[in-house]
Amino acid sequence: MLRNQAWLILGICTLIATGVLSGGVAATAPEPKVSPAIPWILDEFKHHPLIGLGDQHGLAQELDFYSALVSDPRFASEVGNVVVEFGESSQPILDRYLGGENVPYTELRKVWTENVGWTPSGTYLGFLNLFAQIRTVNAALPSDKRIHVWLADPKVDWSQIQSKEQWQALVRTRDANAAQIIEDKIMARGKRALIIFGGGHFIRDDGQPLKQLRELVDDRHPGALEVVLAYTGFLEKTCSGELERSFRDWPVPAIAAPVRGSSLETALLPPGCHVIDFGPGGLSEDDAKLQKIITDNFAGISGHALLYLGPASTLTMSPKSPDIYMDETFRAEMSRRMQIIEGHPLTSATAKSNMVSPRTFRH
Protein backbone atom coordinates (compact mmCIF):
# COMPACT_ATOMS: atom_id res chain seq x y z
CA MET A 1 0.00 0.00 0.00
CA LEU A 2 1.33 3.45 -0.84
CA ARG A 3 2.80 5.12 2.22
CA ASN A 4 0.78 8.25 1.64
CA GLN A 5 -2.50 6.74 0.44
CA ALA A 6 -4.20 7.20 3.80
CA TRP A 7 -3.38 10.91 3.76
CA LEU A 8 -4.60 11.32 0.18
CA ILE A 9 -7.91 9.61 1.00
CA LEU A 10 -8.31 11.78 4.08
CA GLY A 11 -7.53 14.91 2.09
CA ILE A 12 -9.99 14.07 -0.66
CA CYS A 13 -12.73 13.23 1.84
CA THR A 14 -12.08 16.35 3.92
CA LEU A 15 -12.13 18.59 0.89
CA ILE A 16 -15.12 16.74 -0.61
CA ALA A 17 -13.09 15.68 -3.60
CA THR A 18 -15.22 15.29 -6.66
CA GLY A 19 -16.14 13.01 -9.55
CA VAL A 20 -14.93 12.28 -13.01
CA LEU A 21 -16.31 11.97 -16.51
CA SER A 22 -18.07 8.78 -17.58
CA GLY A 23 -15.82 5.84 -18.30
CA GLY A 24 -15.70 3.08 -20.85
CA VAL A 25 -14.29 3.14 -24.35
CA ALA A 26 -14.59 0.76 -27.23
CA ALA A 27 -11.98 -1.95 -27.77
CA THR A 28 -11.08 -0.24 -31.02
CA ALA A 29 -10.23 3.07 -29.36
CA PRO A 30 -7.27 4.85 -30.97
CA GLU A 31 -3.82 4.82 -29.45
CA PRO A 32 -2.71 8.00 -27.65
CA LYS A 33 0.11 10.09 -29.08
CA VAL A 34 3.32 9.65 -27.10
CA SER A 35 5.85 12.50 -26.91
CA PRO A 36 8.89 13.51 -24.85
CA ALA A 37 7.37 15.14 -21.78
CA ILE A 38 9.11 18.52 -21.48
CA PRO A 39 8.71 19.58 -25.14
CA TRP A 40 5.08 18.45 -25.06
CA ILE A 41 4.25 20.52 -21.99
CA LEU A 42 5.99 23.61 -23.32
CA ASP A 43 4.22 23.27 -26.67
CA GLU A 44 0.88 22.68 -24.93
CA PHE A 45 1.13 26.12 -23.35
CA LYS A 46 0.42 27.49 -26.83
CA HIS A 47 -3.09 26.07 -26.50
CA HIS A 48 -3.75 26.23 -22.74
CA PRO A 49 -2.49 29.01 -20.44
CA LEU A 50 -2.63 26.63 -17.47
CA ILE A 51 -1.04 23.19 -17.24
CA GLY A 52 -1.88 21.33 -14.02
CA LEU A 53 0.49 18.61 -12.84
CA GLY A 54 -1.17 16.32 -10.29
CA ASP A 55 1.42 15.84 -7.58
CA GLN A 56 1.70 12.28 -6.24
CA HIS A 57 2.97 13.52 -2.90
CA GLY A 58 6.50 12.26 -2.38
CA LEU A 59 7.11 10.66 -5.80
CA ALA A 60 10.81 11.37 -6.30
CA GLN A 61 10.86 11.10 -10.10
CA GLU A 62 7.96 13.53 -10.41
CA LEU A 63 9.61 16.02 -8.08
CA ASP A 64 12.81 15.81 -10.12
CA PHE A 65 10.74 16.33 -13.25
CA TYR A 66 9.52 19.69 -11.95
CA SER A 67 13.10 20.90 -11.57
CA ALA A 68 14.02 19.65 -15.04
CA LEU A 69 11.00 21.39 -16.56
CA VAL A 70 11.70 24.82 -15.05
CA SER A 71 15.37 24.49 -16.06
CA ASP A 72 14.47 24.42 -19.76
CA PRO A 73 15.16 27.95 -21.12
CA ARG A 74 11.76 28.01 -22.81
CA PHE A 75 10.00 27.78 -19.46
CA ALA A 76 11.23 31.12 -18.16
CA SER A 77 10.75 32.89 -21.49
CA GLU A 78 7.39 31.39 -22.50
CA VAL A 79 5.69 30.47 -19.19
CA GLY A 80 7.42 32.16 -16.29
CA ASN A 81 4.99 31.25 -13.49
CA VAL A 82 4.49 28.31 -11.12
CA VAL A 83 1.61 27.96 -8.64
CA VAL A 84 2.06 25.54 -5.72
CA GLU A 85 -0.05 24.50 -2.74
CA PHE A 86 2.16 26.03 -0.08
CA GLY A 87 1.30 28.95 2.18
CA GLU A 88 0.48 32.41 0.86
CA SER A 89 1.63 33.82 4.21
CA SER A 90 5.25 33.24 3.15
CA GLN A 91 5.04 34.82 -0.33
CA PRO A 92 7.36 37.76 0.52
CA ILE A 93 9.97 35.35 1.91
CA LEU A 94 9.95 33.19 -1.21
CA ASP A 95 10.06 36.25 -3.48
CA ARG A 96 13.22 37.44 -1.75
CA TYR A 97 14.82 34.01 -1.97
CA LEU A 98 14.01 33.46 -5.65
CA GLY A 99 15.23 36.99 -6.35
CA GLY A 100 18.68 36.08 -5.06
CA GLU A 101 18.60 37.51 -1.55
CA ASN A 102 20.32 35.73 1.32
CA VAL A 103 17.38 34.44 3.39
CA PRO A 104 18.15 32.68 6.70
CA TYR A 105 17.10 29.05 6.49
CA THR A 106 14.78 29.13 9.51
CA GLU A 107 12.88 31.94 7.80
CA LEU A 108 12.90 30.29 4.36
CA ARG A 109 11.59 27.10 5.93
CA LYS A 110 8.29 28.84 6.62
CA VAL A 111 7.51 28.53 2.89
CA TRP A 112 6.90 24.78 3.21
CA THR A 113 5.94 24.60 6.89
CA GLU A 114 3.46 27.45 7.45
CA ASN A 115 0.61 25.83 5.57
CA VAL A 116 -2.98 24.74 6.08
CA GLY A 117 -3.06 21.54 4.04
CA TRP A 118 0.44 20.10 4.46
CA THR A 119 0.67 18.73 7.97
CA PRO A 120 2.82 18.38 9.87
CA SER A 121 4.67 20.16 7.05
CA GLY A 122 5.62 19.82 3.38
CA THR A 123 9.19 18.61 3.72
CA TYR A 124 9.93 16.43 0.69
CA LEU A 125 13.42 17.33 -0.51
CA GLY A 126 12.22 17.37 -4.11
CA PHE A 127 10.08 20.45 -3.43
CA LEU A 128 12.91 22.19 -1.60
CA ASN A 129 15.16 21.42 -4.58
CA LEU A 130 12.56 22.90 -6.94
CA PHE A 131 12.77 26.27 -5.18
CA ALA A 132 16.58 26.10 -5.16
CA GLN A 133 16.64 25.26 -8.87
CA ILE A 134 14.36 28.17 -9.74
CA ARG A 135 16.64 30.47 -7.73
CA THR A 136 19.59 29.21 -9.79
CA VAL A 137 17.73 29.76 -13.08
CA ASN A 138 16.67 33.26 -12.01
CA ALA A 139 20.24 34.24 -11.12
CA ALA A 140 21.12 34.21 -14.82
CA LEU A 141 18.06 36.22 -15.91
CA PRO A 142 17.13 39.93 -15.79
CA SER A 143 14.62 40.72 -13.04
CA ASP A 144 11.70 41.11 -15.45
CA LYS A 145 12.34 37.68 -17.03
CA ARG A 146 12.59 35.60 -13.88
CA ILE A 147 10.33 32.70 -12.92
CA HIS A 148 7.79 33.63 -10.27
CA VAL A 149 6.36 31.08 -7.85
CA TRP A 150 2.94 31.86 -6.39
CA LEU A 151 1.99 30.28 -3.06
CA ALA A 152 -1.71 29.42 -3.12
CA ASP A 153 -2.54 27.88 0.26
CA PRO A 154 -4.57 30.31 2.43
CA LYS A 155 -2.74 32.64 4.77
CA VAL A 156 -2.44 31.15 8.25
CA ASP A 157 -1.04 32.23 11.60
CA TRP A 158 -0.57 28.96 13.47
CA SER A 159 -0.04 30.78 16.75
CA GLN A 160 -3.75 31.64 16.57
CA ILE A 161 -4.93 28.12 15.70
CA GLN A 162 -5.99 26.35 18.88
CA SER A 163 -8.76 24.01 17.74
CA LYS A 164 -9.56 21.56 14.96
CA GLU A 165 -12.62 23.64 14.07
CA GLN A 166 -10.40 26.67 13.37
CA TRP A 167 -8.16 24.55 11.15
CA GLN A 168 -11.09 22.97 9.28
CA ALA A 169 -12.53 26.40 8.52
CA LEU A 170 -9.31 27.26 6.69
CA VAL A 171 -9.13 23.86 4.96
CA ARG A 172 -12.50 24.52 3.36
CA THR A 173 -11.10 27.65 1.69
CA ARG A 174 -8.03 26.03 0.13
CA ASP A 175 -9.27 25.46 -3.41
CA ALA A 176 -11.18 28.73 -3.57
CA ASN A 177 -8.08 30.61 -2.42
CA ALA A 178 -5.91 28.88 -5.02
CA ALA A 179 -8.45 29.60 -7.78
CA GLN A 180 -8.46 33.28 -6.82
CA ILE A 181 -4.64 33.44 -6.89
CA ILE A 182 -4.70 31.92 -10.38
CA GLU A 183 -7.38 34.38 -11.45
CA ASP A 184 -5.64 37.48 -10.07
CA LYS A 185 -2.00 36.67 -10.76
CA ILE A 186 -2.24 34.66 -13.99
CA MET A 187 -5.48 34.87 -15.94
CA ALA A 188 -6.28 38.54 -15.31
CA ARG A 189 -2.78 39.45 -16.46
CA GLY A 190 -2.84 37.31 -19.60
CA LYS A 191 -0.06 35.06 -18.26
CA ARG A 192 0.67 31.33 -18.29
CA ALA A 193 1.41 29.08 -15.35
CA LEU A 194 2.35 25.58 -14.32
CA ILE A 195 -0.01 24.50 -11.52
CA ILE A 196 1.51 21.92 -9.13
CA PHE A 197 -1.16 20.59 -6.75
CA GLY A 198 -2.09 17.20 -5.37
CA GLY A 199 -4.05 15.23 -7.94
CA GLY A 200 -7.18 15.33 -5.79
CA HIS A 201 -7.53 19.04 -6.56
CA PHE A 202 -7.89 18.24 -10.26
CA ILE A 203 -11.01 16.09 -10.07
CA ARG A 204 -14.57 17.33 -10.25
CA ASP A 205 -18.21 16.61 -9.51
CA ASP A 206 -20.55 19.37 -10.57
CA GLY A 207 -23.09 18.24 -7.97
CA GLN A 208 -20.97 18.98 -4.89
CA PRO A 209 -21.44 22.32 -3.08
CA LEU A 210 -17.73 22.67 -2.27
CA LYS A 211 -15.90 22.88 -5.57
CA GLN A 212 -12.38 21.69 -6.25
CA LEU A 213 -9.69 23.76 -7.97
CA ARG A 214 -10.25 22.24 -11.40
CA GLU A 215 -13.96 22.99 -11.39
CA LEU A 216 -13.45 26.53 -10.08
CA VAL A 217 -10.99 27.31 -12.87
CA ASP A 218 -13.10 25.59 -15.53
CA ASP A 219 -16.17 27.58 -14.50
CA ARG A 220 -14.38 30.87 -15.15
CA HIS A 221 -12.19 29.80 -18.05
CA PRO A 222 -13.47 26.73 -19.89
CA GLY A 223 -10.66 24.90 -21.67
CA ALA A 224 -7.89 26.96 -20.09
CA LEU A 225 -6.62 24.19 -17.80
CA GLU A 226 -4.96 21.03 -19.13
CA VAL A 227 -4.50 18.36 -16.44
CA VAL A 228 -1.59 15.90 -16.46
CA LEU A 229 -1.50 12.99 -14.00
CA ALA A 230 1.42 10.66 -13.33
CA TYR A 231 1.43 6.92 -13.94
CA THR A 232 2.49 4.94 -10.83
CA GLY A 233 1.49 1.39 -11.74
CA PHE A 234 -0.68 -1.07 -9.82
CA LEU A 235 -0.60 -2.70 -6.42
CA GLU A 236 -0.10 -6.00 -8.28
CA LYS A 237 3.35 -6.20 -9.90
CA THR A 238 2.05 -8.52 -12.62
CA CYS A 239 -0.52 -5.90 -13.65
CA SER A 240 2.15 -3.21 -13.90
CA GLY A 241 4.43 -5.47 -15.92
CA GLU A 242 1.67 -6.45 -18.32
CA LEU A 243 0.68 -2.86 -19.07
CA GLU A 244 4.26 -1.60 -19.28
CA ARG A 245 5.03 -3.99 -22.11
CA SER A 246 3.12 -1.55 -24.31
CA PHE A 247 5.20 1.33 -22.90
CA ARG A 248 8.63 -0.21 -23.57
CA ASP A 249 9.36 2.06 -26.55
CA TRP A 250 8.24 5.23 -24.79
CA PRO A 251 10.85 7.84 -23.91
CA VAL A 252 11.33 8.63 -20.21
CA PRO A 253 9.81 10.95 -19.25
CA ALA A 254 6.92 10.85 -21.73
CA ILE A 255 3.47 12.30 -22.14
CA ALA A 256 0.66 10.20 -23.61
CA ALA A 257 -2.46 12.07 -24.70
CA PRO A 258 -5.36 12.04 -24.79
CA VAL A 259 -6.39 9.63 -22.04
CA ARG A 260 -10.18 9.80 -22.43
CA GLY A 261 -11.36 8.20 -25.64
CA SER A 262 -8.04 6.46 -26.31
CA SER A 263 -6.90 2.93 -25.56
CA LEU A 264 -5.35 4.23 -22.33
CA GLU A 265 -8.75 4.80 -20.73
CA THR A 266 -9.37 1.09 -20.19
CA ALA A 267 -5.72 0.00 -20.15
CA LEU A 268 -5.02 2.10 -17.04
CA LEU A 269 -7.56 0.16 -15.00
CA PRO A 270 -7.92 -3.42 -16.30
CA PRO A 271 -10.13 -5.99 -14.52
CA GLY A 272 -8.52 -7.55 -11.48
CA CYS A 273 -5.91 -4.79 -11.09
CA HIS A 274 -5.92 -2.13 -8.39
CA VAL A 275 -4.21 1.22 -7.92
CA ILE A 276 -5.18 1.77 -4.28
CA ASP A 277 -5.94 -0.36 -1.23
CA PHE A 278 -9.09 0.74 0.58
CA GLY A 279 -8.43 -1.62 3.48
CA PRO A 280 -10.09 -4.89 4.55
CA GLY A 281 -13.61 -3.53 4.47
CA GLY A 282 -13.12 -1.14 1.57
CA LEU A 283 -15.71 1.62 1.34
CA SER A 284 -19.43 1.18 1.90
CA GLU A 285 -21.85 1.01 -0.99
CA ASP A 286 -22.81 4.60 -0.21
CA ASP A 287 -19.21 5.57 -0.88
CA ALA A 288 -18.99 3.81 -4.25
CA LYS A 289 -18.79 7.13 -6.06
CA LEU A 290 -15.94 8.30 -3.82
CA GLN A 291 -14.13 5.03 -4.44
CA LYS A 292 -14.37 5.57 -8.19
CA ILE A 293 -13.17 9.16 -7.80
CA ILE A 294 -10.06 8.09 -5.89
CA THR A 295 -9.41 5.10 -8.14
CA ASP A 296 -9.66 7.05 -11.39
CA ASN A 297 -7.44 9.74 -9.93
CA PHE A 298 -4.69 7.32 -8.91
CA ALA A 299 -4.94 5.50 -12.23
CA GLY A 300 -4.50 8.71 -14.22
CA ILE A 301 -7.85 8.39 -15.97
CA SER A 302 -9.11 11.72 -14.60
CA GLY A 303 -6.48 13.72 -16.46
CA HIS A 304 -6.28 14.92 -20.03
CA ALA A 305 -2.76 13.47 -20.39
CA LEU A 306 -0.58 10.86 -18.67
CA LEU A 307 2.95 11.55 -17.43
CA TYR A 308 5.12 8.43 -17.69
CA LEU A 309 8.25 8.54 -15.51
CA GLY A 310 9.32 4.93 -16.01
CA PRO A 311 8.19 1.45 -14.90
CA ALA A 312 6.44 1.31 -11.55
CA SER A 313 9.25 -0.81 -10.10
CA THR A 314 11.71 2.08 -10.64
CA LEU A 315 9.61 4.77 -8.93
CA THR A 316 10.77 5.82 -5.47
CA MET A 317 9.90 8.09 -2.55
CA SER A 318 11.67 11.40 -2.01
CA PRO A 319 13.47 11.70 1.33
CA LYS A 320 12.26 14.49 3.61
CA SER A 321 14.12 17.32 5.29
CA PRO A 322 15.59 16.06 8.59
CA ASP A 323 14.55 19.30 10.32
CA ILE A 324 11.46 17.69 11.82
CA TYR A 325 13.50 15.28 13.95
CA MET A 326 16.75 17.24 14.34
CA ASP A 327 15.30 20.60 15.43
CA GLU A 328 13.52 19.91 18.73
CA THR A 329 11.79 23.29 18.92
CA PHE A 330 10.46 22.90 15.38
CA ARG A 331 9.29 19.35 16.06
CA ALA A 332 7.46 20.45 19.19
CA GLU A 333 5.44 22.97 17.18
CA MET A 334 4.67 20.41 14.48
CA SER A 335 3.56 17.99 17.18
CA ARG A 336 1.25 20.64 18.64
CA ARG A 337 -0.37 21.08 15.24
CA MET A 338 -0.75 17.32 14.85
CA GLN A 339 -2.47 17.21 18.24
CA ILE A 340 -4.96 19.80 17.03
CA ILE A 341 -5.64 18.10 13.72
CA GLU A 342 -5.39 14.40 14.54
CA GLY A 343 -5.94 14.38 18.29
CA HIS A 344 -2.53 12.91 19.09
CA PRO A 345 1.07 14.19 19.14
CA LEU A 346 3.52 13.61 16.32
CA THR A 347 5.12 10.17 16.53
CA SER A 348 6.15 9.68 12.89
CA ALA A 349 8.71 11.67 10.87
CA THR A 350 11.80 10.15 12.50
CA ALA A 351 15.27 9.33 11.22
CA LYS A 352 14.24 5.67 10.99
CA SER A 353 11.36 6.53 8.66
CA ASN A 354 13.48 8.90 6.53
CA MET A 355 15.96 6.52 4.97
CA VAL A 356 18.46 7.85 2.45
CA SER A 357 18.50 4.66 0.41
CA PRO A 358 15.68 4.47 -2.18
CA ARG A 359 12.27 3.30 -1.02
CA THR A 360 9.93 2.10 -3.73
CA PHE A 361 6.78 4.11 -4.25
CA ARG A 362 4.51 1.16 -4.90
CA HIS A 363 5.78 -2.10 -3.40
pLDDT of res. 121: 75
Residues contacting 342, CB < 8 A, separation 6+: none
Specify the range with the lowest mean pLDDT, choosing from 10-19, 184-193, 228-237, 309-318: 10-19
As a whole number of angstroms, the longest Cα–Cα distance in the chain is 60
Domain boundaries of the chain, sorted by first residue: 5-342
> Own/partner pairs for 130-139, CB < 8 Å, 24+ apart?
130/63, 130/66, 130/67, 130/70, 131/94, 131/97, 131/98, 133/67, 133/70, 133/71, 134/70, 134/82, 134/98, 135/97, 135/98, 135/100, 137/70, 137/71, 137/76, 138/76, 138/98, 138/99, 138/100, 139/100
3-state DSSP assignment of residue 108: helix
Rg of the chain over CA atoms, in angstroms? 20
352: CB partners within 8 A, 6+ apart = none
Can you give the pLDDT at residue 279? 75
Across the chain, mean pLDDT equals 89
Pairing of strands 81-87, 193-198: parallel
- Taken in order 293, 298, 299, 305, is the CA torsion positive or negative? positive
Mean pLDDT of all residues in 265-271: 94
Beta bridge partners of 227: 52
The more confident residue out of 348 and 24 is 348
Residue 249 has pLDDT above 80, yes or no: yes
Cα(310)–Cα(346) distance, integer angstroms: 34
Distance CA 297, CA 314 (A): 21
pLDDT at 23 over 70: no
Q: Confidence band (pLDDT; 50, 70, 90) for 289?
A: confident
| Mean pLDDT calculated for residue range 138-166 | 97
Residue 284 — very low, low, confident or very high, per pLDDT cuts 50/70/90?
A: low
What are the angstrom distances between the C-alpha of 82 and each of 41, 57, 86, 194, 240? 13, 17, 12, 5, 32
pLDDT band at residue 294 under the 50/70/90 scheme = confident
AA identity, residue 76:
A
pLDDT at position 293, please? 83
Residue 94 in this model has a pLDDT that exceeds 60: yes
- Bridge partners, 94 (sequence order): none
The one-letter amino acid at 251: P
pLDDT of residue 150: 98
pLDDT band at 1 (very low <50, low <70, confident <90, very high): very low
pLDDT tens sequence across 325-338 = 999 999 999 999 99
DSSP 8-state class, residue 316: B
pLDDT tens digit sequence for 62-93 = 999 999 999 999 999 999 999 999 999 999 99
pLDDT at 290: 77
Prediction pTM value: 0.90
Q: What percent of the chain has pLDDT over 70?
A: 89
